[in-house]
Amino acid sequence: MADLISGNAAIGQSGGPTAVINQSLVGVIEGLKAGLVGSGQVKKILGMRHGVRGLIAEGDDGLVDLSAMDQAKLEAIARAPSSALGSTRDKPDEAYCERILEGCKRHDIRYFFYIGGNDSADTCRIVSEKAAEAGYEMRCFHVPKTIDNDLKENDHTPGFPSAARFVTMAFMGDSMDNASLDGIKINVIMGRHAGFLTAAAALARGESREAEEPSRYHAAHLIYLPEVPFSTERFLADVDAVYSRLGRCQIAVSEGICNEKGEEIGPQLAANAERDAHGNIQLSGTGALGDGLSDLVKKGLTPEGGKAPRVRADTFGYLQRCWPVPSTVDAEEARAVGRHAAELAAKGESHASVILVRSGNGTGYRSACSQTNLSNVARHTRHMPAEFISGSNDVTEAFYDYCEPLVGELPRFGRL
Amino acid sequence: MADLISGNAAIGQSGGPTAVINQSLVGVIEGLKAGLVGSGQVKKILGMRHGVRGLIAEGDDGLVDLSAMDQAKLEAIARAPSSALGSTRDKPDEAYCERILEGCKRHDIRYFFYIGGNDSADTCRIVSEKAAEAGYEMRCFHVPKTIDNDLKENDHTPGFPSAARFVTMAFMGDSMDNASLDGIKINVIMGRHAGFLTAAAALARGESREAEEPSRYHAAHLIYLPEVPFSTERFLADVDAVYSRLGRCQIAVSEGICNEKGEEIGPQLAANAERDAHGNIQLSGTGALGDGLSDLVKKGLTPEGGKAPRVRADTFGYLQRCWPVPSTVDAEEARAVGRHAAELAAKGESHASVILVRSGNGTGYRSACSQTNLSNVARHTRHMPAEFISGSNDVTEAFYDYCEPLVGELPRFGRL
């Protein structure tokens, strides 16, 4: 390890938190302790408070020394949902990355680990380039995380399986609730550009999915993904068909559904749109899309002079990403990707994005960590592949095979 | 048991479903099998489809014969959330109860069990009186159920502990999410007239509640109950005080908060109010109150010429009552109240409302079933007692003591 630079390591967490992002934080720490700390290259392990904000902060307030934390404390933090170090929505540009580099120099940081989505991979990429240009030797590693499951090169991303498990469990319970009182139920799911999380509603079907025709006891009769152009006319016709036949209809809708022109439906229905720092309109944390669709259905499906159907909408909101009971597979994999990043550093790699690959499905499910160039992940968005999408409102068998091992075992219930 | 009438038994489920209402259904069936079926008084055990609707339906479509169902199937149904028989929002008046009585006569029903809230107790009361007037011998039993926990005479009601557990777990995760990204988070909780479920947010505080001052890691800094008149001015001042000090603020708000005049805040903020069959404005299944409060905070706390704080609102919605992982205590007690109703019938009681009473708290928590007159429960609403409410935005130690044994053990997490 003669070619390894000596200095401090810094770890940050960025973007929307997940139920297992602290597993990755602890994974990096474990990996460093077993490798570069033991061999003397890494002196201090520093946590960035609120991601790169902690690095550009004046003084030492933005960093916390994690070097001496004992294993019991680390395990307790690993189990906690949401970013223990704090997160940030800042999306660093070139100028911002210069300031990050300055921060790294100030604190003698030579190993930079950033847990996040494609924006975080891009931050790693720019910082890595800036460091090289400046002749400051630094190693930059991106650790994948996102409930949207929208990172390229990855079979799936840590955070997604736990969020998918929440969505599946929610649809299981909610479907029985809807069947108890009948009517039309719309549930709005996170995931602006990628429909994986919305698609997880299909897993709530259990045995009912083998029936030739969706029954009363089906869960999520209709699934609307952001990858499939959304037509309000077709939506009303779909809902009408199910509701007329079964007296009820449970619907999964992605917050990011778009019309044929690629314009989002949410903002069209929302009275008060708000843009975040990335220029995106805020869809999470408001019930506007669900309430708008609910009004649409009430108006569209009320017979002339007749009674409006019972229509309810829930927006699952932040619970999807912070529910404190994760998928077991997810917790293990999130720890593994963090550890793998530290191992890459110990091997002398200079920069990489850790990725998850799969071997085997069903009961033979296995995953492993690998790596790719930061630029293969940075800024790109992965969508639901065509083989997972069935028509305009459903998923395929291939999606079940893909998603089931991630979500883990589900409770089974009896019906009359 | 010479004085026991012979005939069929009918069981129905009414009102909003809960995570454990099928435990009560199976409890009644078990109790009947062990008692009146074994002794020959009860011939068939009939389930009413969609509550009393099933009884007034023409033909036999509204009833399902549960007599021959085996124990494994019953256990699988007991574990399922939401009313397996289907539910109804119908609130029978005198004329409707006449039709129920006709249905009972038509199907030779002599034992009537109705699982529900105070409206269901009232249905039992009226049907029982009508039967007596008509000289038709019938036994009527109300089995308590409601996530709102608003039934008189009961220490608490089956359904509430599971919903409270969901709310507590949700606030635990959501508080960490809010702490990760800062800002103001509003969560709207079910319970129109009784604040018990909203108050359960306080249990998410864990050890932080022992701190002298609420910290960053407190969960639910502010709790607004329907029992305490809500002032928008005071609300804004409360939020401002917490947010200014901690940079974040997590808030629990009951869907039923009212101003000093007793007028609900939700409909004032909601553009599209809808009334249900009971004349209530629909608050669940829309994000209107949360979004309205969110706007209020954004407008009220944006400094002149400055940036609006990050404000998000989630309406927990139907997941509160149908999340498929119940509180263990709740599942057991819901089974017990059902069984107790059948035992009262076997003892020759003619009508009663089963109630839950408590002996001991904390690790010494115990509950038992007892009974009261139907009229003591029918139509009344129980509110949070004064001893559980602290000031205008918090709960007392007495509430923790009351609620903790119901919710059960909670996960514990580490923090930096």
The reply to whether A319 sits in an annotated binding site is yes
Please report the sign of the dihedral spanned by the C-alpha atoms of residue B133, residue B134, residue B136, residue B140: negative
Identify the closest residue of chain B to A287 by CA–CA distance.
B287
Rounded distance, CA A239 to CA A233, Å? Answer: 10
Smallest CA-to-CA distance from B416 within A322, A16, A46 is with A46
CATH number for the domain spanning A35: value is 3.40.50.450
**Domain membership flag for residue B352:** yes
pLDDT, position A287: 78
Q: Identify which of B290, B311, B411 has the shortest CB distance to residue A324.
A: B411
Are the beta carbons of B291 and A272 separated by less than 8 Å? yes
A134 close contact with B: CB closer than 8 A: no
Distances (CA, A) of B113 to A28, B28, B32, B48: 58, 8, 11, 10
Q: Identify which of B78, B86, B416 has the shortest CB distance to residue A85.
A: B416
Smallest CA-to-CA distance from B260 within B236, B235, B230 is with B230
A289 & A392 share domain: yes
Measured from the Cβ of residue B213, the count of other Cβ atoms closer than 10 Å reads: 7
Residues 166-195 of B with CB under 8 A from A: 169-170, 172-174, 176-177, 179-182, 185
B387 close contact with A: CB closer than 8 A: no
Q: Out of B90, B119, B122, B148, which one is annotated catalytic?
A: B148
Are the beta carbons of A176 and B81 separated by less than 8 Å? yes
The reply to whether A139 sits in an annotated binding site is no
Identify the closest residue of chain A to B316 by CA–CA distance.
A316
Rounded distance, CA A78 to CA A84, Å? Answer: 9
pLDDT, position B286: 66
Rounded distance, CA B390 to CA B383, Å? Answer: 14
Are the beta carbons of A323 and B180 separated by less than 8 Å? no
**Domain membership flag for residue B212:** yes
Identify the closest residue of chain A to B20 by CA–CA distance.
A173
Rounded distance, CA A280 to CA B326, Å? Answer: 38
Share of chain B above pLDDT 90, in %: 84
The reply to whether B118 sits in an annotated binding site is yes
pLDDT, position A170: 98
CA distance A83 to chain B (A): 6
Give per-residue pLDDT as tens, A34-61.
Answer: 999 999 999 999 999 999 999 999 877 8
B241 & B258 share domain: yes
Residues of chain A with Cβ-Cβ distance to B185 below 8 Å are 318
Give per-residue pLDDT as tens, B147-203.
Answer: 999 999 999 999 999 999 999 999 999 999 999 999 999 999 999 899 999 999 999
Please report the sign of the dihedral spanned by the C-alpha atoms of residue A374, residue A375, residue A381, residue A387: negative
The reply to whether A282 sits in an annotated binding site is no
Q: Is A213 exposed, middle or buried (0-12, 13-18, 19+ CB in 10 A)?
A: exposed
Identify the closest residue of chain A to B80 by CA–CA distance.
A413
Q: What are A353's strand-pairing partners? A: A142, A372
Q: Out of A148, A150, A238, A330, which one is annotated catalytic?
A: A148
HSE of B258, CA atoms in CB hemisphere, 13 A: 14
Please report the sign of the dihedral spanned by the C-alpha atoms of residue B320, residue B326, residue B327, residue B329: positive
**Domain membership flag for residue B155:** yes
B50 & B141 share domain: yes
Question: What beta strand segments (E) does A360-411 contain?
Answer: 366-372, 389-390, 394-395
Q: Identify which of B47, B286, B313 has the shortest CB distance to residue A291.
A: B286
Average pLDDT of chain B to the nearest whole number: 93
- Is the pLDDT at B1 greater than 70? The verdict is no
DSSP letter string over B287-349?
-HHHHHHHHHHHHHHPPTTSPPP-EEEEE-TTHHHH-SS--HHHHHHHHHHHHHHHHHHHTT-
DSSP letter string over A134-163?
TT---EEEEEE--TT---TT-SS-TTHHHH
A118 & A166 share domain: no
**Domain membership flag for residue A230:** yes
Rounded distance, CA B312 to CA A115, Å? Answer: 24
CB B243 within 8 A of CB B249: yes
Please report the sign of the dihedral spanned by the C-alpha atoms of residue B81, residue B85, residue B89, residue B93: negative
Distances (CA, A) of A312 to A186, A198, B218, B257, B271: 6, 18, 32, 21, 16
Query: Average pLDDT, stretch B383-411?
Result: 97
Pairing of strands B7-13, B42-48: parallel
Q: Which domain holds residue A237?
A: 160-324+386-407
Confidence band, pLDDT 50/70/90 cuts, at residue B271 = very low
A111 & A192 share domain: no
Residues 245-264 of B with CB under 8 A from A: none
Contacts with B403 (C-beta within 8 Å, 6 or more apart), sequence order: B164, B196, B199, B200, B202, B203
* Cα radius of gyration rounded to whole Å, chain A: 23
CA distance B76 to chain A (A): 4
* Tokens describing residue A208: 């009912």
The reply to whether A16 sits in an annotated binding site is yes
Rounded distance, CA B281 to CA B317, Å? Answer: 15
pLDDT, position B399: 97
Confidence band, pLDDT 50/70/90 cuts, at residue B267 = confident
CB A26 within 8 A of CB A77: yes
A347 & A400 share domain: no
B176 & B320 share domain: yes
Identify the closest residue of chain B to A53 by CA–CA distance.
B181
DSSP letter string over A101-120?
HHHHHHTTEEEEEEEESHHH
CATH number for the domain spanning A191: value is 3.40.50.460
The reply to whether A374 sits in an annotated binding site is no
Identify the closest residue of chain B to A282 by CA–CA distance.
B312
Are the beta carbons of B84 and A17 separated by less than 8 Å? no
Query: Average pLDDT, stretch B289-294?
Result: 90
Complex confidence, ipTM = 0.95
Residues of chain A with Cβ-Cβ distance to B77 below 8 Å are 413-416
Give per-residue pLDDT as tens, B17-76.
Answer: 999 999 999 999 999 999 999 999 999 999 999 999 999 998 778 999 999 999 999 999
* Tokens describing residue A352: 């990489």
Smallest CA-to-CA distance from B414 within A100, A74, A126, A377 is with A74
Smallest CA-to-CA distance from A145 within A320, A335, A346 is with A335
Between the two ends of chain A, the Cα-to-Cα distance in Å is 66
A277 close contact with B: CB closer than 8 A: no
**Domain membership flag for residue A105:** yes
CB A319 within 8 A of CB B317: no
- Is the pLDDT at B269 greater than 90? The verdict is no
A52 & A174 share domain: no
Confidence band, pLDDT 50/70/90 cuts, at residue B272 = very low
Q: What is the largest CA-CA distance in chain A?
A: 83
B256 & B347 share domain: no
Residues 4-33 of A with CB under 8 A from B: 13, 16-17, 19
Identify the closest residue of chain B to A177 by CA–CA distance.
B82
Distances (CA, A) of A204 to A207, A208, A253, B10, B243: 9, 9, 15, 31, 39
- Planar angle of CA A53, A59, A62, nearest 5 degrees: 35
The DSSP H or E segment spanning A77 is helix A71-79
Measured from the Cβ of residue B312, the count of other Cβ atoms closer than 10 Å reads: 21
A71 & A53 share domain: yes
**Domain membership flag for residue A380:** no
Q: Identify which of B13, B180, B319 has the shortest CB distance to residue A174.
A: B319
The reply to whether B172 sits in an annotated binding site is no
pLDDT, position A273: 40
Residues of chain B with Cβ-Cβ distance to A414 below 8 Å are 73-80, 84
**Domain membership flag for residue A292:** yes
CA distance B231 to chain A (A): 23
pLDDT, position B59: 78
Q: How many domains does chain B have?
A: 2
pLDDT, position B34: 96
Residue numbers in chain A where pLDDT is lower than 70: 1-2, 270-286
Distances (CA, A) of A237 to A1, A232, A233, A242, A243: 65, 9, 6, 9, 10
Residues of chain B with Cβ-Cβ distance to A287 below 8 Å are 286-288, 290-291, 313, 315
Confidence band, pLDDT 50/70/90 cuts, at residue B282 = low
The reply to whether A255 sits in an annotated binding site is yes
pLDDT, position B284: 52
pLDDT, position A285: 54
Rounded distance, CA B52 to CA B263, Å? Answer: 32
Rounded distance, CA B149 to CA B226, Å? Answer: 13
Are the beta carbons of A288 and B287 separated by less than 8 Å? yes
B271 & B367 share domain: no
Distances (CA, A) of B31 to B131, B195, B246: 23, 33, 54
The reply to whether A190 sits in an annotated binding site is yes
Q: Identify which of B169, B179, B413 has the shortest CB distance to residue A79.
A: B413
Distances (CA, A) of A371 to A340, A354, A407, B331, B357: 9, 4, 24, 47, 60
B307 close contact with A: CB closer than 8 A: no
Are the beta carbons of B84 and A416 separated by less than 8 Å? yes
Contacts with B250 (C-beta within 8 Å, 6 or more apart), sequence order: B171, B174, B175, B178, B185, B187, B218, B219, B220, B221, B222
**Domain membership flag for residue B413:** no
A403 & A261 share domain: yes
**Residue A155 designated active-site:** no
Q: Identify which of A77, A318, A413 has the shortest CB distance to residue B314.
A: A318
* Tokens describing residue A183: 């009517």
Are the beta carbons of B318 and A313 separated by less than 8 Å? no
Q: b/e per residue, B267-305, with b = 16+ CB within 10 A? A: bebbeeebeeeeeeebbbbbbbbbbbbbbbbbeebeeee
